[in-house]
Structure 1
Amino acid sequence: MTDIIERLRTLPPQTNLDTILISCVEMGASRIHLQTDSSLKIRVHGRNYAAPGQRLRWTNTEVSQALAKMYKSSTGPSRLSQAMAIDTSYVIWPDRAKRRYGFRLNAVACTIGSNDGIGIILRPLPEKPIPLEEQYVEPKLAEALDGESGGYLICGVTGSGKTTLMGGVTRQRLEDPDCHCDIVEGAAPLELFYDLIEQNNASIQQTEIPRQLANFPDFIRAAVREEPTDINIGECRDTETMAATIQAIISGHRTMTSVHTNDPAATIRRVVSLCPASDRDNLAIAFVDNLKLIVNQRLLRSTDGRRTAIRSFLPFNRKIREALLDAPQTRWPNMVRGFVEEYGQTFEQSIKDVHAQGRISDKIAGRAMKELD
């Protein structure tokens, strides 16, 4: 803690934005907060730190200039003033022979006291997607992820590592010389890049939404015409995207996407609710009939001061799919909860395993167990 505060104390002035951001990444920041009339704040392995005193206290002009630089347009601040949010990416690559620094950028207009201001959140992204073995992916889950068709849902709340897990899966498929895959991926924005990954007998084409295509349904419609083996969809958050995603799944493509949910039972409920009401029954049945995996992930503070994942997941076999299809949709969430215990892995099991491996402390394990109640 003292080391981080001291390093915050020695950061350069606001005019050196890129140097500040790179320094925050080197400190291990997972979240960087710039806000009008506030000091720089960062989050490192689940703990918050602020630049001491008046150090790096940003004026509205300085925040506006920072946003214009990262948005690559002077229209950024005016966009916020029109009650529109900015959700994009920002990349720093000062030396092509050295590391590239990527960030997900979210900016909104906000209120500070009685005044209007700007709030910017930057979430640093890894230069390369993290391999699955470094994410402690369970052997049973790794086996379930190894399929060539159907739907794969990677779920969790914001900041739970969904994108990281999806990136690891994609990296593994690209690096596997026996996996002759052609992946098309759409995300809003793109957070992970694969140009530094060796693509042995595979390819990937990435499209940013809405900068390069207006929305996910447009991306999916274009993708299915490009003869891909895999379609990766950054997130299903509305009825149009869910309907298009299910069409991609049933057309024979391996389709991977994310949904904001807490556990597999909530995921199946959320998917059904996102299907358009006019065709909900047919789409929900088609989805379940082609579903291969639901995995939900959460992050806990680990014994090394960082964070580690716990997961609840359910690989879908023919028996599970037929049982669901023979039952009313209202029963699906409870049935999935039972199937997770019988065929998959519960959060409780994951906590016990991670604790036994020494990756989380007794205190963290106990607290996580209580939160499951």
Structure 2
Amino acid sequence: MGHLDYTKLDDLLIWATEKKASDITIQTNLEVMADIGGGIHRITDVKTSKADVDGIVRYIYGENGPAEILGGGDLDPSHEIRIKGVGTKRYRVNVTGGRIPGGEGVQITLRTLPENPIHISKLGIEDDIIKNFRPEQGLILVTGPTGSGKSTLLSSGLRMLVEKPDGNEKILEYSSPIEYVYDGIDMPSSLVFQTHAGVHLRPRGEESEESIFALCVRNALRRKPTIIVIGEARDKATIAATTEAALTGHLVFSTMHTIGVGPTLRRAVMPFPESTRAAMAIDIMESLRMIVTQLLIPKKGGGKVGCREYMVFDEGTRESFLRESIDTWPRHARKLIASQAAVGKTMIDSSLELLKQDLITEETFERVAAKGKV
């Protein structure tokens, strides 16, 4: 494709989706790039001008989009393309300003989203995770870096629950933006209601953006859900609110940008001041039911494959943590998994299984193993 402007954006996205591109990058004074099968490829012949990038931002977000970027903000909208006779194609979008060769510019990243959550049988999820995905109450954290498939794993698990004839689930999801939708999923006795945090639901007063998800938890508690899904537990207000909801009889799912069970435990308690950290850590531990970390690593022959570390927090496991100093929790988690004193698996063990199945190379295994020892 040659020159790109906003009038050609949708055609480009449809073409890229058909090529199974996972991420498309549009940047000032650069050809459009796409991640296809784990490799970065140029998919236009002509560099995108500043005027065209601004036009695309306005098309996706609105007239004030370029001004918000110029003022130091970033944008996280979603984008939909309705195709007659086919349905809707959906994309998660981020727009951020920054430096480019020769000056300042804008980078737009678009990630393709499936119309419906993937069936969990296609993800190779461990039986331990599936068996422990629906406790009566508590907190389940799905973690990993950006692009690691957290939302894919979580939405597939929720699809598994709502497809059951006797599921009887009322799921309230709060995300920013909404990624997977359930329009084409048969739900015999369950329902899913999705709210775009910050768009469908916003603070009325001076509440900061960082606590928008805490507001979402409070909103959910007034609506008698069986399951609450919070897009990201990224600040102390949200962590405290999700923990409280989990301790008062609800099942809460959320995500964190952490890698590993131990680092997730550390990240969950660190936002709190020393005066309240110990008490909050106890509440968090009493609420926890499972932590699952996922990485997407290069698959032998092309593409990517999920590699997971996880721990199930049953009553005995939680009590063993509560007997330990909070500072030693990450080390204690490694010890419990290594000794098989808790239900779980390390990232190293998961990558070794993938190596034995000839799904990854030895080089990939060594890279994952090195990270797992940190």
Cα pair 2:60 2:77 within 8 Å, conserved: no
Equivalent residue runs for 1:9-158 within 5 Å: 10=1, 13-14=4-5, 15-51=7-43, 55-71=45-61, 73-95=62-84, 97-158=85-146
Cα pair 1:240 1:276 within 8 Å, conserved: no
Q: Secondary structure at the match of 2:184?
A: coil
Which residue pairs with 1:317 in the alignment? 314
Identify if the C-alpha distance between structure 1 residues 322 and 13 changes in structure 2 by more than 3 Å, giving closer, same or farther: closer
Work out the CA distance in 1 between the residues paired with 2:226 and 2:146: 28
Identify if the C-alpha distance between structure 1 residues 200 and 82 changes in structure 2 by more than 3 Å, giving closer, same or farther: same
Cα pair 1:12 1:20 within 8 Å, conserved: no
TM-score by length of 2: 0.92
Deviation at 1:304, TM superposition (A): 4.2
CA offset digits 1:64-83 (Å, max 9, x no partner):
11111111x11111111111
CA root-mean-square deviation: 1.6
Quick check: 1:283 aligned with 2:280?
Answer: yes
Work out the CA distance in 2 between the residues paired with 1:205 and 1:354: 36
Cα pair 1:30 1:42 within 8 Å, conserved: yes
2:128 partner letter: K
Unaligned runs of 5+ in 1: 1-9
Cα pair 1:128 1:193 within 8 Å, conserved: yes
CA offset digits 1:204-262 (Å, max 9, x no partner):
11111111223111111010110000000111111111111111111111100011111
Quick check: 1:296 aligned with 2:284?
Answer: no
Which residue pairs with 1:221 in the alignment? 218
Work out the CA distance in 1 between the residues paired with 2:304 and 2:281: 35
Aligned partner of 2:330 among 318, 330, 333: 333
Which residue pairs with 2:345 in the alignment? 345
Deviation at 1:12, TM superposition (A): 7.4
Quick check: 1:365 aligned with 2:365?
Answer: yes
Cα pair 1:242 1:275 within 8 Å, conserved: no
Cα pair 2:259 2:293 within 8 Å, conserved: yes
Cα pair 1:243 1:275 within 8 Å, conserved: no
Work out the CA distance in 2 between the residues paired with 1:164 and 1:338: 29
Quick check: 1:210 aligned with 2:198?
Answer: yes
Work out the CA distance in 2 between the residues paired with 1:139 and 1:46: 27
CA offset digits 1:89-125 (Å, max 9, x no partner):
1111222x31421111110122223333221111111
1:63 partner letter: V
Equivalent residue runs for 1:237-256 within 5 Å: 237-256=234-253
Identity %: 30
TM-score by length of 1: 0.92
Work out the CA distance in 1 between the residues paired with 2:92 and 2:235: 21
How many residues align structurally?
A: 360
Quick check: 1:171 aligned with 2:159?
Answer: yes
Quick check: 1:195 aligned with 2:183?
Answer: yes
Cα pair 2:294 2:308 within 8 Å, conserved: yes
Cα pair 2:3 2:48 within 8 Å, conserved: no
